[in-house]
Amino acid sequence: MSSETDPSLGEAVAARIERRWATLSIVIVGVLVGMATFIGIHQATMPQGRVETADPRTLHLSGEFIESNLGTAVEADGSVTVRAVGQQYSFTPQCIVVPAETPITLRTTSADVVHGLIIEGTNINAMLVPGYISELPVRFRKPGEHVMPCQEFCGIGHQGMWGKVKVVDKAAFAGMTASRRRLTCVD
């Protein structure tokens, strides 16, 4: 009898292949569980690289995010920092003005619930989490206007939570900062 026609041999081959697949599946599951365990333990035991906190209850009273400190500022070293706060259902300031072709640091937080911020036409996307400061390096290539909607459902008025970013050229921006310490384009 040739091997092809022996039914018991066919069964043995099938059983061997099935055992192999079963072993492979168990190995894959084992690797995934191992990875999840390692990442979980790693995150729980290693301190985060850099976490900055801000008490949402006192944002308006003291510290970096008091209203007079919001908007765009030129720092002592010449760098540009934008500070903004999200709250149900607006951004403060509602209109942010920044120079083009300049490295900018965007620092934001929330005064109440989790909000998000995306700047249309760019890859800028930040989460505004109460208690924490989100910092993002941003840079705009050319002057223009961008809408800035909230991208995280934050309650009944979420749909209406929009801001605006106005990018002006460097020279115009320098002219604007000559006379004022904090800039916004809120009318």
DSSP 33-55: HHHHHHHHHHHHHSPPS---B--
CB of 126 to ligand CUA, least distance (A): 12
For residue 3, give the DSSP letter.
G
CB of 18 to ligand CUA, least distance (A): 52
CB of 152 to ligand CUA, least distance (A): 5
Q: 74 or 128, CB closer to ligand CUA? A: 128
Residues that bind ligand CUA (CB under 6 A): 86, 89, 115, 150, 152-154, 158, 161
Q: 40 or 160, CB closer to ligand CUA? A: 160
Q: Cis peptide leading into 93, omega within 30 of 0?
A: yes
CA dist., res. 28 & res. 186, Å (int): 56
Six token digits for residue 39? 């990442």
